[in-house]
């Protein structure tokens, strides 16, 4: 069994995930799943026996396939015909030696050009040090969890910096002596004030003395209380995030944010960040929600372009940032966690923090599907469509690819053959290719059901159908679909399943007139308890500026 496939090809007869012709409507794969960390359900499909593999796309080649053998290497007809230049590359490589094309060594094949990942990896940790949060157990737990993360996951060539924010933004400077740079002015000039100290803002894992001084300072509550001026409400979240992205610049990297303060919509972002011509006063005019949405969307797009991953850990029950949750974390393939304040164990936080380590960078995805089908959308992550494949900046071990299929399947097709090939760079710059081959038997779907880890059976298709109706604003269809599935699924699963929750959600909030800010946090917290997959797919609906249907 292929350990990277995280789905089952089994379906119910009545499942909306397949149409009348009998082929699946949704296929999902977790390419970098680890059996030790990611629960992979039992997969039922016909395994492909060992046979010659294409040196370019790593496809298994049977005797029935058209393939060419050059210099001891096999090339399938699929790779040769559309791109004759690759075929010629191999002919010249046979003449000039393997070293003439280093990108083809070690079974690595570039689907198209991918920028290399810098070996100097940068991580910036943002920490909310407002008075209320700094005096809580959650704050101390997160500081210790981050220290463990730095000790265990940071490599010698990795650099990281720490920025704290409350009523001001503080950068920690690692020079000859440990010091702080306090930036009380929140406007576009903040970046210019920090850039001269850029080299001294980052520290390596080898600087043990500086690391100890840093985390000791972060645990000095009395100093934090003094810096916060007795105010319990932090206000610089947006500005700190923008500063972190500016500091990472074009090298890319990771941003880890720990926020325990309410009121993060637009806080710490003056109108000058949107309109430089506006007059700055001591009493800053904070952005309205629609302005904050655009502000964070721009940050998310920039992060995606630069290869920056933003991981958010929230401990606030009140006004969670709509745009940050829906855009920055999701688009950058970062982790989004929201916890009940003062109710989360240290072990849980440690495991969540350690899960941030990406498994692959600069991924390009290429698909082979049966001629009778077409892939409509690729979901579960943020992929930018290119001419020949999909590309994204980062994939995590739990990143799940969801393929929505359409088309007609002839009765003569008893097996559907799929192949997914992912070209990616590791954190150290090495290039690799991972290919997943599978054959799905379509002749018998009587006892089958598509499954997603941590979700009730047959729930994926139901969720997709509900989301489609919500996008179409089909109120009657939503009510009918939810009520029908609720009645049938509760009998089989129980009243505490996800269906019951979605039924209550749609009938009590969205259907009745939209979601308020208070309800948004509650619904999002409930969703992430069931599955990050559900949260990723419904977060745009829940946190849309006009989330009423």
Q: Which residues have CB under 8 Å from 228's CB, separation 6+?
A: 129, 130, 131, 134, 166, 167, 234
Q: What is the pLDDT of residue 139?
A: 92
**Residues 500, 471 within the same domain:** yes
CATH number at residue 216: 3.40.50.410
CATH number at residue 413: 2.60.40.1670
Q: Check: CB of residue 381 under 8 Å from CB of residue 402.
A: no
**Residues 293, 376 within the same domain:** no
Confidence tier at 34 by pLDDT (50, 70, 90): low
Give one DSSP letter per residue of 464-498, joined into a string.
Answer: HHHHHHHHTT-HHHHHHHHHHHHHHHHHHT-TTSH
**Residues 84, 50 within the same domain:** no
Q: Please check whether residue 365 lies inside any domain of the structure.
A: yes
**In this predicted model, which residue has the larger pLDDT, 417 or 133?**
133
What is the residue range of 174's domain? Answer: 121-354
Q: What is the pLDDT of residue 131?
A: 80
Stated pTM of the model:
0.57
Identify which of 322, 143, 176, 171 has the alpha carbon closest to the alpha carbon of residue 247: 171
Rounded-to-integer distance, Cα 35 and Cα 57, Å = 25
Q: Distance between alpha carbon 40 and the CA centroid of its chain, in Å?
A: 19
Q: Distance between alpha carbon 8 and the CA centroid of its chain, in Å?
A: 22
φ and ψ of 122, to 5 deg: -120, 135
Candidate from 114-123, 329-338, 447-456, 525-534 with smallest mean pLDDT? 447-456
Q: Check: CB of residue 528 under 8 Å from CB of residue 338.
A: yes
**Residues 220, 245 within the same domain:** yes
**In this predicted model, which residue has the larger pLDDT, 416 or 490?**
416
Q: Check: CB of residue 544 under 8 Å from CB of residue 523.
A: no
CA distances from residue 49 to 2, 61, 188, 438 in whole angstroms, order as listed: 12, 10, 60, 11
Q: What is the pLDDT of residue 46?
A: 29
Q: What is the pLDDT of residue 544?
A: 45
Q: Please check whether residue 453 lies inside any domain of the structure.
A: no
Beta bridge partners of 172: 180
**Residues 369, 342 within the same domain:** no
Q: Please check whether residue 406 lies inside any domain of the structure.
A: yes
Identify which of 471, 548, 489, 484 has the alpha carbon closest to the alpha carbon of residue 515: 548
Q: Check: CB of residue 460 under 8 Å from CB of residue 9.
A: no
Rounded-to-integer distance, Cα 459 and Cα 15, Å = 9
Identify which of 469, 458, 457 has the alpha carbon closest to the alpha carbon of residue 506: 469
**Residues 276, 373 within the same domain:** no
Q: What is the pLDDT of residue 90?
A: 47
Q: What is the pLDDT of residues 419-435, one digit of tens each?
A: 777 777 776 667 777 77
User: Residue 135 pLDDT more than 80?
Assistant: yes
**Residues 7, 141 within the same domain:** no
Biggest CA-to-CA distance, the chain: 76
Q: Please check whether residue 62 lies inside any domain of the structure.
A: no
**Residues 240, 158 within the same domain:** yes
Q: What is the pLDDT of residues 259-269, one digit of tens each?
A: 887 544 444 45
Give one DSSP letter per residue of 337-376, joined into a string.
Answer: EE--TT---HHHHHHHHHTT--SEEEEEEEEE--TTEEEE
Q: Exposed, middle or buried by CB within 10 Å (0-12, 13-18, 19+), for 48?
A: middle
CA distances from residue 179 to 56, 175, 198, 208 in whole angstroms, order as listed: 52, 8, 14, 16
Q: What is the pLDDT of residue 123?
A: 87
**Residues 223, 143 within the same domain:** yes
Per the listing, tokens 């991981």 go with 311
**Boundary of a domain, candidates 311, 331, 354:** 354
Per the listing, tokens 């390419």 go with 31
Q: What is the pLDDT of residue 130?
A: 80
Rounded-to-integer distance, Cα 339 and Cα 351, Å = 14
**Residues 108, 141 within the same domain:** no
Q: Please check whether residue 125 lies inside any domain of the structure.
A: yes
Share of the chain above pLDDT 90, in %: 2
Tell me the average pLDDT of the chain. Answer: 61
Rounded-to-integer distance, Cα 293 and Cα 287, Å = 9
The number of domains in the chain is 4
Q: What is the pLDDT of residue 398?
A: 64
Q: What is the pLDDT of residue 546?
A: 40
User: Residue 545 pLDDT more than 60?
Assistant: no
Q: Check: CB of residue 133 under 8 Å from CB of residue 234.
A: yes
Q: What is the pLDDT of residue 204?
A: 78
Identify which of 21, 8, 78, 7 has the alpha carbon closest to the alpha carbon of residue 410: 21
Q: Please check whether residue 150 lies inside any domain of the structure.
A: yes
**For the ranges 139-148, 173-182, 267-276, 517-526, the one whose mean pLDDT is highest:** 139-148
Q: Please check whether residue 454 lies inside any domain of the structure.
A: no
Q: Check: CB of residue 438 under 8 Å from CB of residue 45.
A: yes
Identify which of 529, 495, 491, 523 has the alpha carbon closest to the alpha carbon of residue 508: 523
φ and ψ of 338, to 5 deg: -125, 125
Q: What is the pLDDT of residues 308-327, one digit of tens each?
A: 888 888 886 554 544 455 55
Coil, strand or helix at 315: coil
Q: Check: CB of residue 406 under 8 Å from CB of residue 373.
A: yes
Rounded-to-integer distance, Cα 94 and Cα 73, Å = 9
φ and ψ of 60, to 5 deg: -75, 135
Rounded-to-integer distance, Cα 294 and Cα 296, Å = 6
**Residues 215, 261 within the same domain:** yes
**Residues 241, 365 within the same domain:** no
**Boundary of a domain, candidates 445, 471, 494:** 445
Q: Please check whether residue 549 lies inside any domain of the structure.
A: no
Rounded-to-integer distance, Cα 225 and Cα 233, Å = 12
């Amino acid at each position: 069994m292929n350990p990277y496939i995280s789905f089952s090809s089994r379906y119910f007869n009545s499942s909306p995930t397949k149409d009348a012709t009998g082929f699946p409507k949704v296929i999902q794969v977790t390419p970098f799943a680890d059996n030790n960390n990611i629960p992979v359900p039992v997969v039922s499909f016909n395994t492909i026996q060992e046979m010659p593999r294409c040196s370019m796309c790593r496809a298994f080649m049977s005797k029935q396939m058209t393939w060419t053998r050059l210099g001891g290497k096999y090339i399938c007809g699929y790779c040769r015909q559309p791109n004759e230049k690759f075929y010629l590359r191999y002919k010249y490589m046979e003449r000039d030696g393997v070293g003439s094309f280093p990108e083809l060594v070690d079974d690595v094949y570039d689907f198209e050009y991918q920028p290399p990942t810098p070996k100097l990896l940068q991580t910036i940790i943002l920490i909310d040090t407002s008075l209320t949060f700094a005096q809580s157990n959650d704050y101390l737990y997160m500081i210790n969890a981050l220290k463990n993360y730095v000790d265990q996951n940071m490599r010698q060539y990795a650099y990281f910096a720490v920025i704290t924010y409350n009523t001001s933004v503080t950068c920690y400077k690692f020079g000859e002596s440990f010091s702080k740079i306090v930036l009380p002015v929140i406007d576009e000039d903040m970046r210019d004030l920090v850039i001269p100290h850029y080299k001294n803002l980052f520290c390596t894992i080898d600087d043990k003395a500086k690391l100890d001084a840093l985390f000791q300072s972060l645990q000095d509550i009395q100093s934090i209380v003094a810096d916060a001026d007795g105010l319990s409400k932090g206000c610089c979240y947006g500005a700190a995030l923008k500063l972190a992205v500016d500091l990472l610049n074009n090298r890319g990297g990771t941003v880890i944010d720990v926020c325990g303060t309410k009121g993060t919509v637009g806080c710490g972002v003056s109108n000058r960040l949107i309109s430089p011509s506006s007059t700055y006063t001591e009493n800053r005019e904070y952005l309205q929600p629609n302005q904050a949405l655009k502000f964070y969307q721009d940050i998310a797009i920039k992060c995606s372009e630069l290869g920056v991953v933003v991981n958010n850990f929230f401990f606030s029950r009140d006004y969670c940032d709509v745009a940050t949750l829906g855009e920055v974390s999701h688009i950058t393939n970062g982790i989004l966690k929201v916890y009940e304040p003062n109710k989360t164990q240290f072990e849980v936080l440690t495991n969540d923090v350690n899960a941030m380590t990406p498994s692959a960078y600069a991924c390009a995805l290429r698909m082979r599907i049966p001629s009778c089908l077409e892939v409509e959308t690729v979901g579960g992550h943020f992929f930018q469509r290119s001419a020949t494949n999909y590309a994204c900046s980062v994939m995590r071990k739990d990143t799940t690819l969801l393929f929505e299929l359409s088309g007609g399947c002839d009765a003569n097709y008893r097996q559907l053959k799929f192949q997914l090939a992912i070209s990616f760079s590791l954190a150290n710059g090495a290039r690799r290719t991972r290919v997943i081959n599978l054959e799905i038997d379509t002749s018998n779907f009587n006892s089958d059901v598509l499954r997603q880890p941590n979700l009730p059976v047959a729930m994926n298709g139901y969720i997709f159908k509900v989301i489609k109706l919500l996008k179409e604003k089909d109120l009657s269809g939503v009510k009918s679909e939810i009520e029908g599935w609720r009645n049938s699924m509760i009998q089989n699963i129980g009243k505490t399943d996800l269906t019951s929750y979605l039924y209550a959600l749609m009938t009590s909030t969205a259907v009745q007139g939209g979601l308020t800010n208070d309800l948004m946090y509650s619904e999002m917290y409930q969703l992430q308890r069931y599955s990050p997959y559900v949260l990723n797919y419904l977060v745009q609906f829940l946190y849309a500026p006009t989330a009423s249907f």
